[in-house]
Chains A and B, each alone.
Chain A
């Protein structure tokens, strides 16, 4: 390591750790300057986290959020050049710290997904008319082999609480959080309508189906898993409706076929509800 590299490693080490001694060769007169850099570091990370996880902070309160954010920054000091990624892994930090309140990590995961969707690659989703045209002459085999490229802003987040109610209740400062467990397993799907990230609560099996398509599964494989989960009659009805809904919502970028090997799709999560709530 060069002298410059050693100096920079020692300096950054002293910034990251408040208890670290002054780097070699530094007199006490440099301590006030170092304190300013330490403060700048903590403030910028804290502000980045507060800005990304605004509702999570309202849910747990400022003090608890500050402690969680400080813990996250100590355990996962930033590596990327962009401050946008400082919050990566924060939902997992919340899972670790708020063990009796799973709604905290779920809300943080939702905010992170919205944050990512906001600046995801622009794309032109397939329209309902375009989808109809593309499928007009499909044979049964074509449907079996169909794969979907989903829009790049799409994210799926697990939900054991009604995140729509929770999200809405935390829209303003000093709001009273509305924490209501879901009766059945759900998920939140997040995407961008134009420039605005939105989300909707869906049955967990629908999220699992989206996840399977994102991993390259064929429609045939997803339908087989749906049959195991919902039973044949319900699966047939749901599969078509689900696909039509996704196209209508702009979640499908393009269709493809001829995939050599579709990844295995395990049975999807139990059917929970046919209702879909949206905060769009």
Chain B
């Protein structure tokens, strides 16, 4: 299976409200990321838009429904349709989340946390092997944000991710906001988390906003917070340049606002830590 080469660019998630901006204008991004499932359809406007955007920008397929942690294995229909979309779009890479979304009976349509056990790790690794084999390419998996941990946990999340990457050859999508959120919610150090990851496997970074509170909620409905920017700056100082994007899924502002946030990421990427204060 071919390796994923490092890609040093800055991008945005493609959202419906910005279709016209991307189709009719020149948007200063190095890539766009789309939610895979929104385009895993038979035909119509969504696929036409994606194909036209693909003519202008490299595309990343980012999934929310693979359910890589499901004890019952993967949904073959989902996998087959994802393969079809990947063949059609020729993405930079295909990613999903370290989570589970369903049992054999029902689907939660949410990114649910996994118990951090050897048994869960074995299940995840077997599912990743199956997914990468079916897609014919290595994948990236994103660290989740979570609101509870399990009494049976046997390891830290960064240890789980490290062994997962080592055993399967997959890469990591490091969501800095998710680290920040989970660190607050579960009382660990975000910097210890990042230091414990195999940074040479990280191929992409996500930045997003959250709702503060006793439990921080990963809402993607506002600008990236100062604490997350600081953690990003620290991370790329260790990691070097890596593909970075701003995620916004709710209360989506005009594109110019997101491009301004992305410019801050670019500035930090050039080593300008002072940009945060500015």
Q: A-side interface residues toward B, CB under 8 Å?
A: 1-5, 7-9, 11-12, 15-16, 25-27, 30, 32-34, 36-37, 40-41, 44-45, 48, 77-84, 86, 118-123, 152, 192, 195
Chain A residues near B41: list those with CB within 8 A. 84, 119
19 contacts between A and B (CB under 8 A): A4-B117, A15-B110, A25-B151, A27-B151, A33-B185, A33-B215, A36-B215, A37-B110, A37-B112, A37-B147, A44-B109, A48-B109, A80-B107, A81-B75, A82-B65, A120-B43, A120-B44, A121-B43, A192-B44
Q: What 0/1 readout, one digit per residue, does chain B (250-262) give for beta carbons within 8 Å of chain A?
A: 0000000000000
Which residue of the partner chain B has the closest CB to A35?
B147
Interface residues of B in 55-105 (CB under 8 A from A): 65, 67, 70-72, 75, 77-78, 100-103, 105
CA distance A34 to B150 in the complex (A): 11
Which residue of the partner chain B has the closest CB to A121?
B42
Additional A-B contacts beyond A5-B103, A37-B110, A82-B65 (14; CB < 8 A): A2-B119, A4-B115, A4-B117, A5-B72, A44-B110, A48-B109, A78-B109, A79-B106, A81-B75, A83-B37, A86-B109, A122-B44, A122-B47, A195-B48
Which residue of the partner chain B has the closest CB to A47?
B250
A5 to chain B, nearest CB (A): 4
Task: Decide: A81 near B102, CB < 8 A? Known: A5-B72, A120-B44, A121-B43.
Answer: yes
Chain B residues near A195: list those with CB within 8 A. 44-45, 48
B123 within 8 A of A: yes
Chain B residues near A121: list those with CB within 8 A. 42-43
Task: Decide: A12 near B77, CB < 8 A? Known: A25-B151, A121-B42.
Answer: no
Chain B residues near A120: list those with CB within 8 A. 42-44
Question: Is A81 a contact partner of B48 (Cβ separation < 8 A)?
Answer: no
Among the listed A4, A15, A82, which residue makes an inter-chain contact with B120, where contact means beta carbons less than 8 Å apart? A4
Q: Which of A11, A26, A192 has the most CB of B within 10 A?
A: A11
CA distance A26 to B148 in the complex (A): 10
Question: Is B215 a contact partner of A32 (Cβ separation < 8 A)?
Answer: yes
Question: Is B44 a contact partner of A40 (Cβ separation < 8 A)?
Answer: no
Task: Decide: A25 near B106, CB < 8 A? Known: A7-B115, A118-B44, A120-B43.
Answer: no
B23 within 8 A of A: no
Question: Is B147 a contact partner of A32 (Cβ separation < 8 A)?
Answer: yes
Chain B residues near A36: list those with CB within 8 A. 147, 215, 217
Chain A residues near B136: list those with CB within 8 A. none
Among the listed B44, B106, B112, B217, which residue makes an inter-chain contact with A78, where contact means beta carbons less than 8 Å apart? B106
A17 to chain B, nearest CB (A): 11
B74 to chain A, nearest CB (A): 10
Q: Which 8 A-B pairs have the closest CB atoms?
A: A33-B148, A122-B43, A33-B147, A5-B71, A119-B41, A195-B45, A121-B42, A4-B71
Chain A residues near B105: list those with CB within 8 A. 9, 12, 79
How many residues on B have C-beta within 8 angstroms of the other chain's C-beta atoms? 44
Among the listed A3, A12, A32, A48, which residue makes an inter-chain contact with B103, where contact means beta carbons less than 8 Å apart? A12
A47 to chain B, nearest CB (A): 10
Question: Is A82 a contact partner of B40 (Cβ separation < 8 A)?
Answer: yes
Chain B residues near A78: list those with CB within 8 A. 106-107, 109
Q: What 0/1 readout, one digit per residue, does chain B (27-40) give for beta carbons within 8 Å of chain A?
A: 00000000001001
A11 to chain B, nearest CB (A): 7
Q: What 0/1 readout, one digit per residue, does chain B (108-146) give for beta carbons within 8 Å of chain A?
A: 111010010101100100000000000000000000001
Among the listed B70, B101, B115, B148, which residue makes an inter-chain contact with A30, where contact means beta carbons less than 8 Å apart? B148
Question: Is A15 a contact partner of B46 (Cβ separation < 8 A)?
Answer: no
Among the listed A40, A77, A82, which residue makes an inter-chain contact with B37, where contact means beta carbons less than 8 Å apart? A82
Which residue of the partner chain B has the closest CB to A2?
B71
Which residue of the partner chain A has the closest CB to B250?
A47
Chain B residues near A8: list those with CB within 8 A. 70-71, 100, 103, 112
Chain A residues near B217: list those with CB within 8 A. 36
B147 to chain A, nearest CB (A): 4
Chain B residues near A27: list those with CB within 8 A. 151
Chain A residues near B78: list those with CB within 8 A. 81
Chain A residues near B108: list those with CB within 8 A. 12, 15, 37, 41
A56 to chain B, nearest CB (A): 21
Which residue of the partner chain B has the closest CB to A5?
B71
Chain B residues near A45: list those with CB within 8 A. 109
A99 to chain B, nearest CB (A): 28
Q: Which of B72, B107, B151 has the most CB of A within 10 A?
A: B107
Question: Is A34 a contact partner of B72 (Cβ separation < 8 A)?
Answer: no
B152 within 8 A of A: yes
Question: Is A81 a contact partner of B117 (Cβ separation < 8 A)?
Answer: no
Chain B residues near A44: list those with CB within 8 A. 109-110
CA distance A77 to B102 in the complex (A): 11
CA distance A8 to B75 in the complex (A): 16
Which residue of the partner chain A has the closest CB to B117?
A4
Which residue of the partner chain B has the closest CB to A12?
B103
Q: Which of B45, B78, B101 has the most CB of A within 10 A?
A: B45
B42 to chain A, nearest CB (A): 4
CA distance A1 to B70 in the complex (A): 13
CA distance A278 to B65 in the complex (A): 38
Q: Which of A37, A80, A81, A120 has the most CB of B within 10 A?
A: A81
